[in-house]
Amino acid sequence: MADEHDERLRQHEEMIQGLARMWSAQQDINQRLTLAIERIDQTLAQQGEFNGDVRTTLARLETLVARLLPQSENGRDA
């Protein structure tokens, strides 16, 4: 009877150790995911700034092109 209890205790200890390893691995994965999401957020913020700069540059180019090219009365080249 004592051997059965010892075996059951050993099995439980193994399960707890396995769960602890899984918990540790999950924490590592969560940390890596958090860092990856933070980098993505930074990239998206930078991309937003870049897009704004591109829009500004395009608007300036459109203004310059409009000044350089004569247009007909309806606003289109004849």
6-64 per-position pLDDT tens digit: 999 999 999 999 999 999 999 999 999 999 999 999 999 999 999 999 999 999 999 99
Residue 23 falls inside a structural domain: no
Indicate the number of domains in the chain: 1
Q: Categorize the per-residue pLDDT at 76 as very low, low, confident or very high, splitting at 50, 70 and 90.
A: low
What's the whole-model pTM score?
Answer: 0.59
Would you state the pLDDT for residue 2?
85
Residue 51 falls inside a structural domain: yes
Residue 42 falls inside a structural domain: yes
Residue 37 falls inside a structural domain: yes
CB-based contacts of 77, cutoff 8 Å, min separation 6: 69, 71
Q: Categorize the per-residue pLDDT at 72 as very low, low, confident or very high, splitting at 50, 70 and 90.
A: low
Residue 45 falls inside a structural domain: yes
Residue 6 falls inside a structural domain: no
Residue 50 falls inside a structural domain: yes
Would you state the pLDDT for residue 56?
96
